[in-house]
Amino acid sequence: MNKNIKLKNAIIAIILTNLITVSLVVLLPIPFFGGKRLISKDLYDFTKRYDKLLKVENLIKNNYVDKKTIDENKLIEGAINGMVDSVGDPYTVYLDKQQFEDLLTQTRGSYGGVGIVVGEKEGKLTVIAPIEDSPAEKAGIKAGDIILKVDGKEISAKELEKAVSMMRGKEGTKVILTIFREGKGVKDYELTRSIIVLKTVKSQVLKGDIGYIRITSFDENTADEFEKAFEKLQKQNIKGLVLDLRDNPGGLLDTSVAIADMILPQGTIVYTIDTNGKKDVWKSDPQNINMPLVVLVNEGSASASEILSGAIRDFKAGTLIGTKTFGKGLVQNIIDLKDGTGLKVTIARYYTPSGECIQGKGIMPDIVYDLPKELKDKQLPIDEDPQIKKAIEVLMTKI
In a domain, 266, yes or no: yes
Residue of 284, 328, 344, 385 with catalytic role = 328
Shared-domain flag, residues 176 and 260: no
In a domain, 221, yes or no: yes
Q: Model pTM?
A: 0.70
- Out of 33-42, 110-119, 121-130, least confident range: 33-42
Shared-domain flag, residues 355 and 207: yes
Q: Per the structure, how many domains does the chain have?
A: 3
Shared-domain flag, residues 275 and 338: yes
In a domain, 313, yes or no: yes
Active-site residue 194, yes or no?
no
In a domain, 103, yes or no: no
Kindly report the average pLDDT of the chain as a whole number.
Answer: 88
Shared-domain flag, residues 182 and 208: no
**CATH number, position 389:** 3.90.226.10
Shared-domain flag, residues 247 and 267: yes
> Per-residue pLDDT tens for 260-311?
999 999 999 999 999 999 999 999 999 999 999 999 999 999 999 999 999 9
HEC assignment per residue over the chain:
CCHHHHHHHHHHHHHHHHHCCHHHHHHCCCCEECCEECCCHHHHHHHHHCHHHHHHHHHHHHHCCCHHHCCHHHHHHHHHHHHHHCCCCCCCEEECHHHHHHHHHHHHCEEEECCEEEEEECCEEEEEEECCCCHHHHHCCCCCCEEEEECCEECCHHHHHHHHHHHCCCCCCEEEEEEEECCCEEEEEEEECEEEECCCEEEEEECCCEEEEEECCECCCHHHHHHHHHHHHHHCCCCEEEEECCCCCCECHHHHHHHHHHHCCCEEEEEEEECCCCEEEEEECCCCCCCCEEEEECCCCCCHHHHHHHHHHHHCCCEEEECCCCCCCEEEEEEECCCCCEEEEEEEEEECCCCCCCCCCCCCCCEECCCCHHHCCCCCCHHHCHHHHHHHHHHHCCC
In a domain, 170, yes or no: yes
Shared-domain flag, residues 17 and 71: yes
> Per-residue pLDDT tens for 299-327?
999 999 999 999 999 999 999 999 999 99
In a domain, 7, yes or no: yes
Shared-domain flag, residues 322 and 366: yes
Shared-domain flag, residues 309 and 359: yes
Shared-domain flag, residues 345 and 247: yes
pLDDT band at 3 (very low <50, low <70, confident <90, very high): very low
Residue of 96, 145, 244, 314 with catalytic role = 314
Average pLDDT over residues 113-132: 89
Listed residues 175, 196, 217: the one ending a domain:
196
> Per-residue pLDDT tens for 349-372?
999 999 999 999 999 999 999 998
Listed residues 158, 177, 196: the one ending a domain:
196
Listed residues 168, 196, 224: the one ending a domain:
196
Shared-domain flag, residues 223 and 326: yes
**CATH number, position 171:** 2.30.42.10
Residue of 303, 305, 309, 344 with catalytic role = 303
Active-site residue 314, yes or no?
yes
In a domain, 120, yes or no: yes
Shared-domain flag, residues 215 and 276: yes
Higher pLDDT: 198 or 237? It is 237
- Domain of 264 in residue numbering reads as 198-396
In a domain, 334, yes or no: yes
Active-site residue 301, yes or no?
no
Shared-domain flag, residues 74 and 209: no
Residue 201 clears pLDDT 60, i.e. is over it: yes
